[in-house]
Amino acid sequence: MKINLYYGGRGVLDDPTLYVINKMEDVLHELKVTTVRYNLYELKNSITTLPQTLKEADGIILATTVEWIGIGGWMQQFLDACWLYGDKEKISRLYMQPVVMSTTYGEKEGLLTLRNAWDMLGGLPCEGLSGYVEDLAAFQADEAYTRLIEKKAENVYRTISQKIVDLPSSSQAVKRSITRTHQNDLTPQENEQLSKYISDDDYVRRQKSDLEELAGIFSEKLGEELKDGPFLKQLKESFLPELGFSASYQILIDGMKEPLYIVVDGDKLDVGYKEILEPDVLARMSEKTLAAVLDGDATFQKVFMTGDMTAKGNFKTLQMLDKVFPF
């Protein structure tokens, strides 16, 4: 039999949880049980990979200390990793004994949190152990407490070896009905591989760098698309320079955020999307109307005369649009 212990405290010398799990390990060793302890504070950068260690265990002990409130961040991270990356099928056959000691207040709530979390994961429960310790020396010296701790260790051994069953839990029914959409479709092997990647800081940094590079490429391409955005390519390809002619046009296109500008200076053409100051002609039309002009189905003068385009400025300059852009 193999039992893994996951310790979520800070590892300080006067932590009563350390005393309790040391005693429990001694008893389990006498019962010929193999134990492996994982100190989460030492493994904080690889907590996401720890659900892999559940595979070879017959049972686990989750032990933590309430120093001010709750079960502590490292234990919470471990449980989160079990939810996200753990092999749920393996967990469903795995017994868990919660151990929560407090130096302030809240050991009962902490014990309930661990039990509920394991229940939601689908695992099997063992009777837990919790207590408040004000004076560690006095606690260690009390033989009655020592016997109780030893009994709890014997109990987890007995529960696992005899495969003692528990009555069905309503939380399992609730979990099946309300959390189904939160489950990912990855296999346990894929989850395991994913958890390895997430815990690898170098890999995460490389991924972020790659994403930034891709974002830059897409941003550049998007910029190119905007630069050669709607209608600009047709205007550039159809441009017929008129020597000695120069003018600026601003066309407001319904439904588009930025206005189209056209600046002609002899054989030079500048087109794009932005607002320019004091254009010679300011016009407004729909996107459909402009498309019809650029496709050769109409002319600027025609859509102006029919009222599909409104304009103000120099009328002769407006007429020149059809000369420099003979679509």
Please state the length of the chain.
Answer: 327
Say if CB 281 and CB 315 are below 8 A apart: no
Q: What's the predicted TM-score (pTM) here?
A: 0.58
So what's the pLDDT on residue 44?
A: 87
C-beta neighbour count of 136 within 10 angstroms: 16
So what's the pLDDT on residue 136?
A: 94
Q: Are strands 246-254 and 260-265 parallel, antiparallel or unpaired?
A: antiparallel
Say if CB 64 and CB 102 are below 8 A apart: no
Say if CB 71 and CB 109 are below 8 A apart: no
Say yes or no: 182 and 246 in one domain. no
Domain at 158, CATH number: 3.40.50.360
Burial state string for 179-206 with b = 16 or more CB within 10 A and e = fewer than 16 = eeeeeeeeebeebbeebeebbbeeeeee
Q: Rounded CA gap, 218 and 228, in Å?
A: 15
So what's the pLDDT on residue 109?
A: 95
For 136, the 3-state DSSP assignment is helix
Q: 61, 88, 279: which is closest to 182 by C-alpha?
A: 88
Containing domain of residue 241, as a range?
232-324
Say yes or no: 266 and 295 in one domain. yes
Say yes or no: 290 and 156 in one domain. no
Say yes or no: 68 and 186 in one domain. yes
Say yes or no: 307 and 174 in one domain. no
Cα–Cα distances in Å, from 37 out to 9, 76, 89, 139, 308?
Answer: 13, 17, 23, 23, 79
Question: Domain tally for the chain?
Answer: 3
Q: Rounded CA gap, 264 and 302, in Å?
A: 21
Say yes or no: 249 and 145 in one domain. no
Sequence-distant (≥ 6) Cβ neighbours of residue 29 within 8 angstroms: 35
Domain at 305, CATH number: 3.30.1050.10
So what's the pLDDT on residue 226?
A: 47
Instruction: With residue 254 as reference, give the H or E element that holds it.
Output: strand 246-254
C-beta neighbour count of 101 within 10 angstroms: 27
So what's the pLDDT on residue 225?
A: 46
Q: What is the residue-level pLDDT of the chain in tens, covering all 327 positions? A: 999 999 999 999 899 999 999 999 999 999 999 999 999 999 988 999 999 999 989 999 999 999 998 999 999 999 999 999 999 999 999 999 999 999 999 999 999 999 999 999 999 989 999 999 999 999 999 999 999 999 999 999 999 999 988 777 766 655 555 444 444 556 655 665 666 666 666 666 777 777 777 776 665 555 554 455 678 888 999 999 998 999 999 999 998 888 999 999 999 999 999 999 999 999 999 999 999 999 999 999 999 989 999 999 888 899 999 999 998
Say yes or no: 38 and 183 in one domain. yes
Q: Rounded CA gap, 262 and 189, in Å?
A: 59
Say yes or no: 111 and 207 in one domain. no
Cα–Cα distances in Å, from 199 out to 49, 80, 192, 204?
Answer: 7, 13, 11, 8
Angle between helices 143-161 and 16-30 (to 10 degrees): 50
Say yes or no: 74 and 108 in one domain. yes
Say yes or no: 130 and 69 in one domain. yes
So what's the pLDDT on residue 174?
A: 54
Helices (H), the chain: 16-30, 73-85, 88-91, 107-121, 136-141, 143-161, 170-178, 188-199, 201-227, 232-238, 287-294, 300-305, 315-324
Say yes or no: 103 and 249 in one domain. no
Say yes or no: 48 and 158 in one domain. yes
C-beta neighbour count of 18 within 10 angstroms: 20
Q: Rounded CA gap, 178 and 199, in Å?
A: 29
